[in-house]
Amino acid sequence: MVIEKLNPRESLGFLTWKVSRMITSDLAARFTEAGVDVTVEQWRALLPLFKLDGLTQGRLCEVLSQEKTGVSRLVAALEKRGLVRREPSKDDRRVKHIFITDAGRALVESTVDMAIASRDKPLEGLPPEDVDVCRRVLWQIIEPTLCHGCVEEKN
């Protein structure tokens, strides 16, 4: 049968997607339990702004690898919650720069330990050397696609 060719254990796309969903679901549950009123997707949009405040909305799209309409909705929701503010560029008023507010910084700072716990949870019980190999191989796949002038860091 043709569908048997799509063995999920052999699909890097499926495996990375599934682990990502596990981590995202865990973090969302932690946010809910802690009363954090932001989605994981919105929270992730705050991270590049925390590192490099004042990104243009277009640059944020690139960093998040998301479409303009999706990022626009994310930014609007974050702005409504007082976590970011948009300002027109001095050079081109059509261009909007996005700045994280003090409330946005405080939210990131207060939730980073939750994110680390969610990130590390699926790794419990795995040999550290296997985790190191996994990270190294995934980074070798990802690195050539990165914009090296962007916010991503090689850690």
What confidence score (pLDDT) does residue 153 get?
42
Whether residue 17 lies inside any domain: the answer is yes
Residue 133 belongs to some domain of the structure: no
**Any idea what the CATH number is for the domain that residue 110 is in?**
1.10.10.10
71-92 mean pLDDT: 93
Host domain of residue 53 = 2-125
Helix axes 102-120, 40-51, angle to 10 degrees: 110
pLDDT at residue 152, rounded to an integer: 43
Residue 141 lies in a domain: no
DSSP 95: S
Give a yes or no: residue 146 inside a domain. Answer: no
Number of domains in the chain: 1
Residue 31 lies in a domain: yes
Contact 45, 64 (CB under 8 A): yes
Would you place residue 149 in the very low, low, confident or very high pLDDT band (cuts 50, 70, 90)?
low
Query: Phi and psi at residue 98, in whole multiples of 5°?
Result: -115, 130
Which segments of 81-127 does DSSP mark as H helices, in order? Answer: 102-120
Average pLDDT estimate for 1-10: 77
Residue 52 lies in a domain: yes
On whether residue 62 sits in a domain, the answer given is yes
In a domain, 97, yes or no: yes
Judged by average pLDDT, the poorest of 4-8, 28-32, 70-74, 77-81 is 4-8
Banded model confidence at residue 72, pLDDT cuts 50, 70, 90 = very high
CA angle 146, 84, 45 (to 5 degrees): 30
